[in-house]
Amino acid sequence: LTRPSFSESTRRQSRRQTAPWLRAPNSPPCQDQHTIAAPRRTPHALSTMLSFPAVALGFASGGPLLAPRVCSVNGVSTRQQPEPWRTAVLSATGCEDAVDNAAAEYCWKIEYIPRADLLNPVPPRMPADELEVHLCSTSASLEYTFTFPGEYQTCVTTEASEEACVVLQNRYVHRHVMSLTQAEFDEYAGAHNTLRNTSTADGRAAFGHRCLDADEDFHTHDAFVSLHLFSSYANRTSADRSHFLMLQEPAHLAWTMLAQKALRCVA
C-alpha cells in the first residue's frame, strides 16, 4: 500500500464534503456547485411500475410455477391489460417463459368483481354466465375476450401447482389514431360512418341491443352537432358567446362521452 498523494487525498476529502450520502448526520448541506444529488425515481418510472398488475404466485410442488399475465390484446404485445370485447392472450406461466407442460392441465377461473359503490354493482346487461367463467386447457396460453368494463379476478391452477391469481382491469383506452392497428382504424372509421348515415330510430333498432347501458345510448351524428350548435347560440342571434363561459369545458366532455357511448353500440 502507498500513501495517497496530496491531490488524491484532496479529491477524496472533496467527495466527502459534496456527496450528501457521505456527510455526517445533522451536518449542514454543502452549497458547493459540484454537490451531487442523490438519485431519485422519476414520476414516469413510478407510473411505469404501477402499470403492472400485482400477481399472487402459485408455488410449484412438482408442477409449473404459475404467474398469470396478459401477453397481448388484439394482437399487440405491448398491451398488458385487457380491453372490452378485444381478444386477450393470457399466459399461466408468464409471457417470457410461457412453456407448455404436457403433463399439466391449466384450469382458469375468471370472475367479475362487483362494484359496491355503484348503483348497479354488476352491469345490468351482463349475462349471468359471464360473471364467473371456468376453462381448462393443456396449453399454458389462453385466448379470452373480456366483455363489460370492470375488474376481473383471474386465477389459474394445475393439479401439481397452487392457485395463482391476479386482478385485471378491463378498461376502454383512449389512443392516438396513429397508435391503432389498421383493423382498429377501419372499425373506428366504419362506426363513425354508421353514426353519420343512420338515424337515431334506425340505429337503436339495429344496434341498441349492443349498447353498453341501454338502447338509448345510440344517437345519430347530427344529434351531437345540434347539441353543440344550439347550446352555443341559445338566446343569442349575433354571436357565439357560450364558448367563453366556464361551462364550455365540461359540456364538451359530456358530449364527447355521449358520442363514445354511441360508437360503442356499433364497434
9 pLDDT band, cuts 50/70/90, is very low
**pTM summary value:** 0.71
- 3-state DSSP helix/strand/coil % of the chain, to nearest 5: 35, 20, 45
**Has residue 32 got a pLDDT over 60?**
no
Show which of 155, 170, 185 is a domain's final residue.
170
**DSSP string across 103-158:** T--EEEEEEEE--TTSSSSS-TTS-GGGTEEEEEESSSEEEEEE-SSEEEEEEEEE
- What average pLDDT does range 141-148 have in this prediction? 96
Residue 90 CB neighbours (<10 A):
26
Tens digits of residue pLDDT in 16-27: 444 443 344 454
- What average pLDDT does range 201-209 have in this prediction? 97
99 and 191 in a common domain: no
Separation in Å, CA 204 to CA 77, 127, 195, 223: 35, 20, 11, 14
Tens digits of residue pLDDT in 107-136: 999 999 999 999 999 999 999 999 999 999
User: Structural domain tally of the chain?
Assistant: 2
Strands 161-170 and 150-158: antiparallel
Show which of 154, 170, 186 is a domain's final residue.
170
**For the ranges 11-15, 18-22, 66-70, which has the lowest average pLDDT?**
18-22
65 and 162 in a common domain: yes
